Each structure stands twice: as structure tokens, then as C-alpha cells.
Structure 1
């Protein structure tokens, strides 16, 4: 598959961060097309982008003329299109475990502290900044309590979320830890998560995907 890969991304989007990690783990070259989620009301609301992604969210991956939306769908697409190295394990049982860990982050934690939710709190309900921050910290901590228990108590957990190879669950977890630290969540309460984060960030695929390493990071005011 030689068609060009283009990722519509925002440097601080944790969903885009997931996909950047996955692309890096696969060793795939891709072009980053920044979409500023705040400037001028949010570039994701511009007609050209809406026509491509009616949800008005990032990331969006273009593979040639194909358009793939939703970070988990993109990551599984990458795993099917480029099977090695794998993001999902070989057996159905292990794939179910990894997907459940990934979805704990992507479906249960992340939507509650997504930018559009926080902006609704701010602009529609006039929720003060301190209360918005408390909301984010609460729901990240609630999710991490469950994640920590699932990781710490399972022999399938290794250096990474599942065994000795980073995969789909790690792609989702590490960006959420970035958000947790950004909002002041005490990571000392989650030693297994913190250990996995450290191991992941020692790998170039993860460190190069960090928000501060992105081409649009230095151009952003927020």
C-alpha cells in the first residue's frame, strides 16, 4: 500500500496522539495536516473539513483517497493494512482484553474531558475554570482506578499493557496520562500505569508522538 498517508491532527488532541503513536509503531511515514481546534472558533468547523469529517473532530486519516475517521477505527485499520508489528494480539481472548483496556480510555474517560465538552461548560453553562478542572481530574481518576486494578491484577500485563510489546491499549493510555498530568492528577496513586508510561516514553514511537514534538505545537496559543 504505497498511497500517501495524511493525518489531520491537533497537537494536544489525545485522540490524534493515539494515532500518531500507532503510525510510529508501524514505522509509517505520514504528513501531518494541523487543524486548530480553537482558533477562529475551531478550524474543524470549516466547510471543507466538515465535508470530510461531519463529526467535526480530529483525527482524520487519509490513505490515498480513502478517509478513515475515529481513532480506534484508524488504529485497527493500520493493524489490518500493515500487520507487522501488531497492535492487537493473535488470540481472540487477548484481543478482547486489549480492546477493553483501550475502550476504557477512549469510550469512558476521554469523552468526559474532551475539548468540546469543556467548551460547552465554559460558554453555555459558564462553569468556572476551577470547577471544569475538578471535573476533568475526577473522571480521569475514576477511570484510572479501574485501569490500575485491571492492569495490576492481571498476569497478562507485562512491561506494557499487554505483554512485552506495546499495542493498542498503550496507544490509548499514554495520551490519557498526558492529560492527567496536565490537569494535576496525582499519578502516585496509579503505580502500574506510571510504570507503563515510563516504559512507553522510552520508545521513539511514543516520545516522537508527544504533543510538544508536533509541527504545530510551537505555533499554538492554547
Structure 2
């Protein structure tokens, strides 16, 4: 399995959610979650929709299985279907909370899950984002942030998956 891993001294943390929670607790001065309980819950929901309901269904192992068992022409349709379902849920969830970013005008945890997922949807799986105006708008805002630009997969020297 190929998951992101953070090495921080003696700590080795794998999995995006665990890494972000570790960083949230270790560096509270750079909060990844808002103080407002409702917005905090929305961030958890958005992160969970991506991490549990969209991203696992587009992993290379799943795509290989679909390719072999169903057919090579089905993998993109499979992924597009699951991304679309997840994005429909995210669009509904975030439409009343989004500001410049997913849950307001500050970058929080939801944004850290959304940015790479939307990037993959557009670049790898050719999902039409016009049906998701809130997600498209926040993604365009992410594109302007140097930290998000630096985090793009193609800029990572060790990206192998």
C-alpha cells in the first residue's frame, strides 16, 4: 500500500488523516481546524468524505483490479462515478460554509484533503468540475497559494505512487 508518511525525529506517522492530526496537536499555533465547533465538524466531514469515500476507490490497486476483472475501458468510468458522488456530497456540505476556501477565509483541514483530490479529479480522471461550482472556486483559490503549488505531486522528488 502506498500512503504518505511523515518522519518527525523518532516519530513515523503514516496516513494523511493521522499526519494532519499529529501536526494539529504538535503545532497548535498553526491550526488546521477552526475554533468554531460547527466549522470544525464540517472540516472533519469533508476530510472523511475524501479520505474514506473517494480516494480509496481510485487507488492503483483498485484500478488494477477493475482493469483486470471488468475491463480496461471501465477504470476511468469507475473513478469518475465515485468522485462525482463524493463531490456531490461535498458541494452540498460546503455551499453554506465556503468563503475563499472550503469553510471560510482561512485554510483548514478540509482544504488539505480537497486540494489534491480535486487536482487528481481534473488532471488524472478528467472530471468536469463545472457541475461543482463551490469546489471549483475553492480549487482556483488553492492554485494561488505557494504552499499548495509546492505540494503538487509532480513537484515531489520521491513521488512513486
TM-score (norm 2): 0.92
Q: Verify: 1:208 aligned to 2:150, yes or no.
A: yes
Render the CA deviation track for 1:162-191: whole Å, top value 9, x for unaligned: 111011101101111112112111111111
Q: How far apart, in 1, do the equivalents of 2:125 and 2:23 lie?
A: 31
Q: Verify: 1:89 aligned to 2:31, yes or no.
A: no
Deviation at 1:160, TM superposition (A): 0.4
The answer (yes or no) to whether the contact 2:67–2:74 under 8 Å persists in 1 is: no
Q: How far apart, in 1, do the equivalents of 2:156 and 2:76 lie?
A: 25
Q: How far apart, in 2, do the equivalents of 1:174 and 1:142 lie?
A: 17
Q: Verify: 1:62 aligned to 2:2, yes or no.
A: no
Structure 2 unaligned spans of 5+: none
Structure 1 unaligned spans of 5+: 1-55
Alignment partner of 2:109 out of 139, 159, 168: 168
Deviation at 1:69, TM superposition (A): 1.8
Larger radius of gyration: 1
Q: How far apart, in 2, do the equivalents of 1:193 and 1:120 lie?
A: 29
Deviation at 1:110, TM superposition (A): 0.9
How many residue pairs match? The answer is 160
Render the CA deviation track for 1:74-130: whole Å, top value 9, x for unaligned: 00110110112211011332211111011111111111111121122234x2x3222
The answer (yes or no) to whether the contact 2:102–2:138 under 8 Å persists in 1 is: yes
> Which 4+ stretches in 1 moved above 6 angstroms?
none
TM-score (norm 1): 0.68
Deviation at 1:205, TM superposition (A): 0.9
Q: Verify: 1:186 aligned to 2:128, yes or no.
A: yes
Two-structure CA RMSD over aligned residues (Å) = 1.6
**Would you tell me which structure has more helix in proportion to its own residues?**
2
